[in-house]
Each structure stands twice: as C-alpha cells, then as structure tokens.
Structure 1
C-alpha cells in the first residue's frame, strides 16, 4: 500500500512477486489470489492490461471456485478498469453488472449474516435471560425450600421446646402439689403436735396449779390450824389469868407453867419460819422475784405478800399476825401504794405473777 500511495511500482513489484512465490510454496490459494489482484492493479497503472487481465482471471476463477467472495469486488473493479482503458464498454458494463450483483449478494449475505447474528444474539440473550430467570427461579425455589426446611426445623424445635416446657411445667406443678401436700400434712402434723403439746402443757399447768392450790390450801389449813391453836392457847391463858387472883385456889405455880407453855406455842416467829419453809417449797423463787422488783419491801410486807399469795383473807391474816383487822387493812393500803398496784387489781391476783 505504501508503494501504491507513492506510485513507486518498481520497488513494490519485487516484494509482491516474492509474496506470490511464497504463497505457491506454502500452498495458500487465498494469499496467492490476493497478491495477484494487488499485482494486477500495479500492471493496470503501468498500462500492461493483458498481463493484468490474466492475473485477474486467475484470481476470479480461484475466488469463484473457493467461494472467496471478499476478493471478488476488487477483481471486478480491476476488470472494469481494463475494459474502460481498452474502450470495451460492453465488457465493462457486464463486469459492472456482475459487481453490482455481487455487492447485492454480499449485502444480502451480510444482511442475512447480520440478521442471523442479531437473531443468534437475540436468541443467545433470550436464552441467557431465560437461563438467568431459570437460575433465579431455581435460587428462589432453593431459598424457598431452604426457608421451608428452616421453618419446619424451627417449628419442630419450638414444638419440642413447648412440649418439654409443658412437660417440665406439669412436672414442676405436680412436684409443687406434692410438696404442698407434704407441707400441709407436715403442718397438720405440726399443728396436731402443737395442739397435743399445748394440751399436755395445759394439763401439766392444770395439774401444777391444782397441786399448787392443794399445797396452798394445805398451807392455809396449817395457818388456820395455827390460828385456832393460838386462839385456844390465848383462851386458856385468859382463863388462867382470871383464876390467878382467886384465893381459894392455889394455882400460881400452875399458872406460871401454863403461861410459859402458851407463849412457847403461840410464837408468831416460829410459825412464820415453818410457814416460810413450806411456802418456798410450793412457790419457789417468790421472795427473790418480789425483792428483785421491789427491793424496798420490809419483812412484814413480805409476809403480807405471801399471805395474799395463798389467798388468805384480811381477818385470817389479822389472826396470824395477832393484830386487828384495821391494822391489816392499813398495811394493805401502804403495800398497794409502795408497789403501785391499781385499785381494780386484787392483791392475790397480783401476787400470783411472782
């Protein structure tokens, strides 16, 4: 092409001829036809029409035999140029018609090829689109299947968990009911035991109170016996005192002896000591508790408290202490005031707390 542009044909021809020789050696008819066509164009420009015609005919024959249509337009154009140079317009017109027919054929082939390519491309794209849609549908189906499997597994897991939950819950409720029943039975047993214990304690307290009352009654009886003895002794002593001055009876020595015996048997202190011993056996800790709370109490007031503890009356206390009822009432008033005992509270009831 370089030599064609600058019309340096003499330099171009050796290379073209060498290319033709190589084409024959390697047996490439296509390359030989192309180099012959190029060489014919140079020969036409040099005015060597016959040589150019021979080369073009050879190339035409090869192209038509081998259906090498790509080179035919160049061959027909070369033949048209030669015919026009030789003023052979009839041949030029014939070659032009063949060229037009060839170009139409090539155009038709090209169009068909383009249409086929477009059709193929369309079919390919359609197929690819269908394949893509199919793949997407497969993926969607796979995802749907996977989701269904996951949902089914999740449903199974939830069902199993709910079953286990309700089973454990029912088991826990049963255990709770059993524990509640056992606790209720234990509570009933405990209540029964407490009731039995309370009943036993009440019976023991009742027996103790009865025993205490009995012992207090014995103390009261002994005190009353001592009171009666003192009264009897005092009556004897009074009778002896009346007969002491009777001159008809010599009883001075007898009076002195009886008087001594009466005084010995009517000793209040001895009676108190004996009473205190037996009282503390029946009411242990009475005097200690009383003195701990009321340390200012005197011995006579402690005696008075003890007598009220065993529920002796004012008259009985007066006989024991060998004093008047008024003196006992006065002592009782002072005792209430010192111990802060309300007027509504009975002294035996108050003393029963110690």
Structure 2
C-alpha cells in the first residue's frame, strides 16, 4: 500500500510538472508574440511599408498559436497603416477582422478603439451615417468605463460629422456639451478641438465673425495641444479672415500655420495652407508668388498621392490582393468540388429513393396480386365450404328424416306389438271368462273337464315374461337409454312400475294398460297415483309429459 501511495504521489507530481511545463511553454509563446506585436506597432510609425510586410506572417503565427488578442491588435495596426495610405476598403476589412477578435475576447476597450477607427474610415469615404454609428458604439463603451477624455474626443468627432451633414444645431449642441466636459475635467486638447469645430460650423453657416471668435478662443488654449492641431486652427482662421477681406491678419495666421505644419510634418495640412497662400498673393496682385505657392500646393498633393501609390507599396498591396484572390479561388474550388460531391450524392440519393420506391411499388403490386389470389381462393373456399355445409345440412336433414322415419316406424311397430299384446290379453281374458261361465254353469261336468288347466295356461300367457322381454327390447330400440335414465334418477321403482312407465310413455290409456298387465282399470289408477308420489309429482300432474323427457335423452 505504501509503495502504491508513493507511486501515486510521483504520478501526480509528474502530471503537475507536465501541465506546468505546457502552460509555461504556451505562456512564453504568448509573451514572444506580444513582444512582436508591440514591435510592429512601433515600426508602423517609422516604416509603414515594412510594418505592413511583417503583418501578414505575424497574423499567421498568432492564428496558429490561437492568440486572439495578438490577431486583434495586428489587424488594427494593419488597418491604420492602410488607412493612412488611402486604401480605405482594405483598411475597413482589417478593422472588421480586429473587431471580431476583440469580441471573442470580450475586450470592450479594444472594441471601442476599433469602432473609433471604423468611424474615421467611414468619415473619410463620406459614409457619414455609418461613421456616426461607429463613433456612438465606441462612445457607449467609453462612457461605461468612464474614460472622460475619450468621451469628449468622440463627441467632438460626432459633432464634426453632423456639421458635414449640415445639421448645425445638433452639431453645436454636441460640441458645447463636449466643451463643458473639457472645462470640468481640464481636457485642454478636447476643449481646443471643440472650439475649432464650432468655428467651422459658424464659418460654413455664414457667420464669419462668430467663427473668427471661436478660432481665436481655440488658439488661446495652446498648452498641451499638439502643434499639428494648432496648425489646422490657424489655417481655418486665416481662411476665414481672408474671405472677409482681412488679408493682413490672414497673412499672420497663415505664417503661423505654415510654421507649425512644417515642424509637425503635417503634410495633409500643408496642401491647404499652400493653396491659401496662393490665394493670398493672388489677392495682393503678386502673380509670381501666387504661382510659386500653387506649384508647392500641387507638389504636396503629388507627394500625398505618391505615398499611397509608390511602387513597392503598390506591389505589396498587389501581392496581398493576389494572395487573397488565391485563397478565395482555392476556397471557391473547394466549394465547387464540395458542390459537385453534394450533387453526385444527391443524384445517388435520388436514384436510391427512386429504386426504393420502385421496389416498394413492386412489393405492393405483388402483395396485392397475392392478396387478390388469396381473396379469390378464400371466396372459392368459402363457396366450397358453403356447398359442403349445404350438402351436410341436406345430408343431416335426410338423416334426420331417415331417423325420424325409422323412429316413427319403430314406434308403429312398438304400438302394433303393444296392441297385439292388448288384443291377445283381451282374447285370453274373454276365453277365461267363458271358461268360468262354463265351470259355473255345469259344476258337475267342470270336474271332469280340464278347465283349471286351461285357466292356468291363460294366466301364464297373459303374464309371459318372454313377451315382456321382447317388448322391452323393441322399446329400447325406439327409446334407447329410457330405463337407464329412469332408474338412475328413480332407483326405487319396481319392475312393475317401470313397465307401467313404459306403457304410459307410449300413450296407452288405463283400459289398455289394464289389459296388457292383466289387472283391472281401477288398479291401474291406484298404481298411477303411487307412481306419481314416487316420482314426486302432483296427483294431477301429467305423467306422460314427465316420462317423455326420458325419451329425449334428458
């Protein structure tokens, strides 16, 4: 047991060490990728093209390692580089990919950052309502985390969009709220931006004096404000003054704008400033200087265009697009192949289904044929059975009629035999009566005559046992089991009472029974009454109907 416990402990130690090693390996891999992402961000400021070239392989590494945060940040950096180069469509796709990865991480701050970038891109391509939507999404997140500076900056961005849409009142309301927050929380950059934007609103809405006042107020807040932003405000103020014939004041503002834009390398602002200088000298009548600044204006514009279309950068974008097209083509080929497989599978399924239906049809048809055959066979069998039953009924009827006829014949024979016995006994009784008359009329001669012997012969024939046995045999032929059933139910009956029952059964009257049995009719009545009592019948009951039950086998 101790050895087992020790082995178990060693096993757990080994598993824990393995998990720790795997965890530390994954963690070190993530740390390495995180460092590469930071290097990419730094490189994007100094050498955007090189940073863009490193972005694709770094995306592949992050994807392989499952490092979603790295994917999100690289996509966001890639989008910023593409946007600054004027490739808004590609930038938009990169920002969307970044947003999806930040959503997977539930990183609201990262999502807010990307929403802001999407708003900037939408603003650049003049999709102002989309821009408002993205800025508002970012604003909602920044408001939840109470990042006041970002809330102010986003409000200023949204106000600028409403100014572009010429919804000046709404834009003014947003900027004034942003300025109030900037003053409350000491956000000077936000305050300067808000004042400058209000100046733009008044300038574009035909209120130059108010615009000049707000531009000057924006310039008063110069502490901590980037000089590139101050260059923009001086440029706006110079343009407004020059449009209102305050040319000398405009020149001072334009000089400040040119100095600050040059020092901050704000090339996009230089284009507008050179254009304003060209207009200024044109108003002064100095055509040479006006032409000189017009050429500078064109050179700066060309430089900006060259930055977005320079050879290496364009080649890289083309290769990136080709890779994208190659992936899309491969995906499309896979989809076509899959679609063909699905089509073949569908064809096979349809063929199998049709074959299945055909087999089911054949099965149903064969089964219906078999059922029809069985039905016909059943009908013929039913007809045969019906005919057979009918024939049996006819045969049974004939047999019944035959039995009835035989029974009737036997009953007639029995009746005839009975009547013969009755007649014989009546004759014998009549002879006995005459013999007695002779004996009583000639008593002297009767002793000489064998009259007593004659009487003895008569009595012997009247009660002959052989005659009764013959009668019993014929009675059993007509009514089989009569005496057996009668004696089983009434074992106390004597042989004479059984004979009486037989005579009553064949409907002999008292007189006929008396002749058969060789006794008087009165004696028969007495015997019937005694028999009724033994059979537990009322005196008035019909003995015949009761005894007839034994002829039916009941």
Partners of 1:145 and 1:266 lie apart in 2 by 121
Q: What TM-score results when the alignment is normalised by the length of structure 1?
A: 0.59
Partners of 1:176 and 1:318 lie apart in 2 by 75
Question: Contact 1:314–1:329 at 8 Å: present in 2 too?
Answer: no
Give the superposition deviation at 1:198.
2.7
Moved more, 164-173 or 316-325: 316-325
Residue 134 (structure 1) aligned with residue 333 (structure 2) = no
Give deviations 1:34-76, integer Å, cap 9, x for gaps: xxxxxxxxxxxxxxxxxxxxxxxxxxxxxxxxxxxxxxxxxxx
Partner residue of 2:316? 121
Question: Contact 1:217–1:310 at 8 Å: present in 2 too?
Answer: no
Question: Contact 1:237–1:259 at 8 Å: present in 2 too?
Answer: yes
Greater Rg, structure 1 or structure 2? 1
Question: Contact 2:476–2:482 at 8 Å: present in 1 too?
Answer: yes
Partners of 2:445 and 2:487 lie apart in 1 by 53
Moved more, 200-209 or 279-288: 279-288
Partners of 1:155 and 1:134 lie apart in 2 by 30
Which of 150, 156, 169 lines up with 2:345 in the alignment?
Answer: 150
Give deviations 1:263-292, integer Å, cap 9, x for gaps: 122115443222113323444444334434
Partner residue of 2:469? 273
Give the superposition deviation at 1:152.
1.8
User: What residue ranges of structure 1 are gaps of 5+ in the alignment?
Assistant: 1-107
Give the superposition deviation at 1:294.
4.2
Give the superposition deviation at 1:223.
1.1
User: What residue ranges of structure 2 are gaps of 5+ in the alignment?
Assistant: 1-302
Question: Contact 1:280–1:286 at 8 Å: present in 2 too?
Answer: yes
Partner residue of 2:434? 239
Give deviations 1:219-266, integer Å, cap 9, x for gaps: 111111111111121122112212322249834414224312321221
Partners of 2:381 and 2:544 lie apart in 1 by 43
Matched length: 243
Give the superposition deviation at 1:335.
5.3
Alpha-carbon distance change, 140 to 312 in structure 1, aligned in 2, over 3 angstroms: farther
> Secondary structure of the equivalent of 1:337?
coil
Residue 169 (structure 1) aligned with residue 364 (structure 2) = yes
Residue 224 (structure 1) aligned with residue 419 (structure 2) = yes
Question: Contact 1:230–1:266 at 8 Å: present in 2 too?
Answer: yes
Partners of 1:240 and 1:205 lie apart in 2 by 51
Partner residue of 2:551? 352
Question: Contact 2:410–2:477 at 8 Å: present in 1 too?
Answer: no
Alpha-carbon distance change, 199 to 255 in structure 1, aligned in 2, over 3 angstroms: same
1:241-320 pair list within 5 angstroms:
241-247=436-442, 250-252=445-447, 253-267=449-463, 269-320=465-516
Q: What TM-score results when the alignment is normalised by the length of structure 2?
A: 0.39
Partner residue of 2:392? 197
Residue 180 (structure 1) aligned with residue 379 (structure 2) = no
Partner residue of 1:333? 532
Give the superposition deviation at 1:218.
0.7
Q: CA RMSD in A?
A: 3.2
Question: Contact 1:317–1:328 at 8 Å: present in 2 too?
Answer: no
Partner residue of 1:104? none
Partners of 1:220 and 1:146 lie apart in 2 by 104
Give deviations 1:98-147, integer Å, cap 9, x for gaps: xxxxxxxxxx9xx89x9333222221221222222222222222222222
Alpha-carbon distance change, 277 to 132 in structure 1, aligned in 2, over 3 angstroms: same
Which of 187, 209, 212 lines up with 2:407 in the alignment?
Answer: 212
Alpha-carbon distance change, 291 to 189 in structure 1, aligned in 2, over 3 angstroms: farther
